[in-house]
Structures are given as structure tokens and as C-alpha cells.
Structure 1
């Protein structure tokens, strides 16, 4: 369609389509009405939303008018996955990874419903989604650190001494954003710093070096689903599990080890969102205390993981990782044996729902006209 012509002498205005409009889904886990979307409307409305309703499936979740979305509750998860639904956490935001599984887009952005639009130092609203897309579409440099951080950003470049043979970088699989106001602290830190707020905006993006782990936060996160989606499993958390609040970190450790093995990059830094709600540190401590204890073994485990050369896909890497979890972490607690089994179930379910479009299985998830999952 040609652009509409204005008055004589005026330059015609050509509508600009939002970046990756038809290639990106926004995944939101929630237990409440999504009124927070009103603040994000200028940035999110052009995109498709996948809402994963946690908790009571009989509760009605209100979504503001004008958004294109599909909404899944626990009944839908059980219907679509059958017995394999056991790998999706219940009463925990880890349920969001079901949205990653049913998406058919190349990219995913996930955000929590207590995250609002932040402002940069000039007072301008930050389009977090656009900044994530910028990071995902530019290469990463995990093999050699650039002291000007991301050399692909406008106004930056590779510094003197950076090998020219490495300047093409590698594909970026994960863009990890940060938060203003309420920091993403664990319960002990929350307890000793109850009034601390993050007001410092650092205008930087950097690639996390190969061989270095990081604590991934899932409330402001984007990733290339085609490159790393099958490893973005947020584990078994919440109802019936001895641990919570380690879902995103578990996924981050698994993804980083696999990205390092497959030659993919992970970036962290911009964009910022405004985290509005501090969770109860005493409730968090009850959820985290085993994780705080176990992480002293989990981190050395991931630091020592060496995946075989014949693991050339994310799925094969993840299945190999599940075997190592069972072997190395299983003796610590039976939970890890259960988690290792769930990792296998996750991959099986992922492959069932993500077969080539020409196959009958591709119709496993059918949608109703109103944007909610169709009931079979």
C-alpha cells in the first residue's frame, strides 16, 4: 500500500512498523488483573501477548481493551500437555515458561506485572522492549572483553588491541535487563536493607564473558527463542516443591552453560524497568532457604560442566545437562532427581509442540477467535 499524500509541499508520512512486530511475543505470568498494561500500551499494543494465569483457574483475569492476546490457565496447561503438564510449576511465576513453549515466534520478551515504565536520566520514558530488540539483533562478544562494553551500540566501537578476527562477534541469544527502584535481592539482603532502592541508571550493555555465570532475573528478560528457547525452562518451583524464587536463576545457569558450548552470547545491562513492589522478605526466606544452602553446590556444578562435542542442538545439550543434574546433584537432595526428570519432560513437551508446521502435531494448540485458548 502506498503512503498517503499530505498537502502540497508536505513530505508524505510513511507509517513505521514497530521492530519485530510479527516475530515477537510478550509473555506475562500473573494472578491479577493486568491494569499495568495501560502504562505499557504505547510500547506493547502492537505485539501479541501470551498471558499465563497462575493459581486458581476459575478466577477471571481482566485484560485492558485493545491488546491482542491469548490467556492460558492451569486447565489449559493440563489439557494441552496432558501428563507432561507436571513439568510446569504451579503457584509460582515459573509457570511463565509454558508461554515460551506455546509461542510460535522467533523472539520472546517476558515481564512481571509489577514492573512499570522507567524513565531515563532526562525524564524520557524508556521503551524497554525496543532496547532489548536492539541488543538481540546485534552480536555479542563473549570471547574477548571490550572495555567500552557493547561495541555495536551507537557511539562505541572496539578499542585498541581488540583482535580484528573476533570483531564479528557471535549471535546474541539472551538480553538481560535491569531494574530501578526495588532491587532484585534475596531474602537475607532484603532483611538487612529493607529501605534500599536502586536509583542509579548506568547507560551500558555488556556481554557476559564465556565461562562466567550470572544470576538471571526473569522479570525483564528477552531472548531468541529459536536459538535458546528450549533451555529456558524455569524448573520445578512453588506448590509441592521445597524451593521457590530460583526458577529464573536455574534457567539462566542452564542457558549460559549451553550458550557457551554452542557459541552464543548473553548480554546484560540496559534496558531498565521500574520495579514497583517489594515482596515480603520473610515469605521469600521460607521459599529460598534451601536454595541459599544448595547454591553452594549448584554453582560449582555448573562451573564444572563440560558438554560433549556431539551435543550440537539446545535439546541435546539440555538432555545431557539433565543427566549430569541427576548424577551430580541428585545425591544432595531427592528434589534434584525430580528436577532432572522434569527437565526431560520439558524437552519432550517442547518438541511435541514445536514440530514443523507441515506436521499434524503443529495444530496441537488451537486458538479461539477471541484470543483465548480454544477448549477442546
Structure 2
């Protein structure tokens, strides 16, 4: 609230894991060392499991490759994508922490307009620890920030806000564009820094990007499934989109909030638009069916947990999107498998999660 003393942001070093999907050596961590070194990293290696991934000295981490995923999940490993960054959601599943921050290995520390390094993780923690306001839009954006408050006309009954489940960060330099937009704007770069965080209103979907994302795993973790993508699938690069649509519908149903805006990271590498177009091609058509589907979803009041909501969503995906393409029948089954694997790993005690060797 305005006028209140500024409290230091809790570090949450014992309550937060950083999840990184990768196919290469993690030299990018050197730039993040001042911000990440005190946290535990969960690295999910995609692609060839025989390849050695090098991690800079001094980081506390566990590294999982495809062999580890198969060993830990057994037949249920089929729900984890291969040769796609969607494999990162395995890290969410094996984490035992309350919060998750996930970042791509081509993302670096950005600078704010005063040329100061941005501590993205600190801002995500601020977002997650302060309430969200999805039921009524505050025109000064986040009313809980220092120097802001609720504007005249904002209902007092809603000023307490709701728990924040997701903090969605943005990017400077390379925008998160789809392939057609990349092709027509190959040199476009984002240099616009907007010093704002806002709650996405209830009933409004958004395109979630997984390269700079944090969430309350205890609240929304079971819905953070990045789908079936990549190798053996007819689609890629819609993994975070899918998770975002599912998460938002469930957050709206259960009364939680999703924030977007700060923090920014520096996205350093534009992927090949022609390769991306091949991966996205069907998704570009399908999203015209998928988005109206999610906009029309009404979850029954009996769905009182994330797992129950997600299983109900899987049934609706099968019923409503199955006729669009057989892929969605396969995806609906994978959604159920994901929940089963999540519950097994997160209710059977510590022995169920055998950590990979460093």
C-alpha cells in the first residue's frame, strides 16, 4: 500500500528451484551467477542422453536426461516431450519446492533504463508474493507496488486481492514472435521497457511464454504440463501456449491470479523462422479452434483441486478438440498420464524421486 515502509524481498532460496531445459553447455549461467548461485537448479537435458552437458563450477544442481526420465517415470515417461523444450515440465514434476522459475539457455541478464542489471528472479518473487486482482482492473496496474494504490472507484471488498499463481516475464531484444511474424519482421527488436506489472483479468486468455516464467508450484503446478510436442508429434513450439491456456482457465475457476510484465530478460538468439514454421504450421490453424474452446470452457463446481480441473479439461479436449485432429485424442490421454505421474511422484515420499547424478 502507498506510504508503507519498503520491505526487502525474501530470497526464498530454500523454497524455489530454477528449471532449465537445454541441449548445450550452460555457459550462460556465468552471467546469472550473482542471482542464481544460491539456488538449486534442475537441468533437463533434451536430445541425445549420451552427450555430456557441462555446468559451470559452483552451482548446486541435478541433471536429468532422457534415460533418467524413463527410469523415474517408467511407462508414464511417454507424456514427456522429446526434442522440444517442453521437456522442462519434468523438472516441475520432480521439484520439491514451493516455487519454480524457468528460463531458456539463450536468455541473459537485461538492463533497465538506468543501465542497472535486472534481477529477474527477485522481481518474479515480488510478483508471486503479492496478491493479484483478476476480478477488477486497477488502472494504475499493480496497486501493491511502492508508490501505487487502488484508484477511486475500486471496490473495497476486492482490495485484498487473491493469491498469485503465475508471474509471466517479458523480453528485450528478440521478441517472442511466431514464424510468420519473424519472416516479415526479421530485423525487429524490442527495446521498449515498460515499468509495469498487471494482473490479467478473469476470463481473458494470454499467450504464455516459457522462457522467463515463475509460478507457485504448490498452487498451480499440476496444470503446468507443456503437452506433447517435438519428436513424433505433428506440432512444436506450442508447449508453453498450451500450458498457459490450461493454467488460466483453472486459475479463473479456482480464484487465483496471473501477472504479466516485469521482469525483463535479454533474449539473445532468434531461432530459424523456416524451422519454426514447420513446427508451428498445424498449430497456427489449430489455434483458431483451440482458443474458442478454452474461452468457452466452464469447469463444474465439483472441480475443487487443480488435478480434478485438469482431468476434466482432458475429457473436454477429447470431446471437443478430438474431432479437429486425432492428435488431441493423444494429447488428452497424455494429460491424464501427466497427472497420474505427478501424483505418484509427489505423494509417495522422497524415495519416489531418485535424483540424477551430477
Give your verdict on TM over 0.5. Answer: yes
Match of 2:351 in 1: 363
Matched, 1:270 2:258: no
The alignment status of 1:172 with 2:164, answered yes or no, reads: yes
> What is the match of residue 235 of structure 2?
243
SS, match of residue 76 in structure 1: helix
1:299-310 to 2 correspondence within 5 Å? 299-310=291-302
Q: In structure 2, what is the equivalent of residue 6 of structure 1?
A: none
For the residue of structure 1 that corresponds to 2:198, the secondary structure is strand
Contact 1:182 / 1:276 at 8 angstroms: preserved in 2?
Answer: yes
- Structure 2: gaps spanning 5 or more residues: 1-7
Work out whether residues 165 and 219 of structure 2, in 8 Å CA contact, stay in contact via their aligned partners in 1.
yes
Structure 2 residue aligned with 1:68 = 60
Q: Aligned partners of 1:363 and 1:54: how far apart in 2?
A: 24
Partner residue in 2 for 1:5: none
2:150 aligned partner:
158
CA-CA distance at 1:310 after TM superposition: 0.5
Matched, 1:328 2:320: yes
- Which residue in 1 is equivalent to 2:4? none
Per-residue CA deviation, residues 240-262 of structure 1 (Å, 9 max, x unaligned), is: 00000000000000000000000
2:43 is paired with a residue whose SS is: strand
1:18: how far off? 6.1
Q: Could you say which residue in structure 2 is the equivalent of 1:293?
A: 285
Q: Does 1:133 align with 2:121?
A: no
* Contact 1:18/1:46 (<8 A) preserved: no
- Which of residues 28, 31, 37 in structure 2 aligns to 1:36? 28
CA 131–254 in structure 1, closer or farther in 2 if over 3 Å, else same: same
Equivalent of residue 83 in structure 1, options 56, 75, 85: 75
> Across the two proteins, how many residue pairs are aligned to each other?
351
Confirm or deny: 8 A CA contact 1:207 1:266 kept in the other structure.
yes
CA-to-partner distance for each residue in 1:230-286, whole Å, 9 max, x for gaps?
A: 000000000000000000000000000000000000000000000000000000000
Other-structure match for 1:118: 110
Q: Which of 9, 12, 23 pairs up with 1:20?
A: 12
CA distance in 1, matches of 2:283, 2:354: 37
After superposition, what is the alpha-carbon deviation per residue over 1:196-234, rounded to whole angstroms, capped at 9, x for unaligned?
A: 000000000000000000000000000000000000000
Superposed counterparts of 1:201-220, under 5 Å: 201-220=193-212
Instruction: Give the equivalent residue in structure 2 for 1:13.
Output: none
Pick aligned residue for 1:197 from 186, 189, 213: 189
CA distance in 2, matches of 1:151, 1:88: 39
Aligned-partner SS, 1:209:
coil
| Conserved? CA contact 1:111–1:221, under 8 Å | yes
Report the RMSD for the aligned CA atoms in angstroms: 1.0
Kindly provide the CA deviation profile for residues 118-176 of structure 1, in whole angstroms up to 9, marking residues without a partner as x.
Answer: 00000000000000000000000000000000000111110000000000000000000
- Report if the CA contact (8 A) 1:25-1:107 is conserved: yes
Distance (whole Å) between structure 2 residues aligned to residue 202 and residue 320 of structure 1? 37
Query: How many angstroms apart in 1 are the aligned matches of 2:61 and 2:304?
Result: 34
Q: Deviations over 1:318-372 (max 9, x none)?
A: 00000000000000000000000000000000000000xxx5x43111236xx53
Tell me the equivalent position of 2:215.
223
| Aligned equivalents of 1:367, 1:219: Cα separation in 2 | 24
Q: Secondary structure at the match of 2:144?
A: coil
Q: Secondary structure at the match of 2:136?
A: coil
CA distance in 2: counterparts of 1:66 and 1:34, whole angstroms: 13
TM, length-normalised to structure 1? 0.92
Match of 1:283 in 2: 275
Q: Which residue of 2 aligns with 1:3?
A: none
Match of 2:311 among 306, 319, 326: 319
Q: Which residue of 2 aligns with 1:10?
A: none
Consecutive unaligned residues of structure 1, counting only runs of 5 or more, are: 1-15
- Would you say 1:258 and 2:250 are equivalent positions? yes
Q: 2:9–2:122: 8 Å Cα contact kept in structure 1? A: no
TM-score, normalised relative to structure 2: 0.97
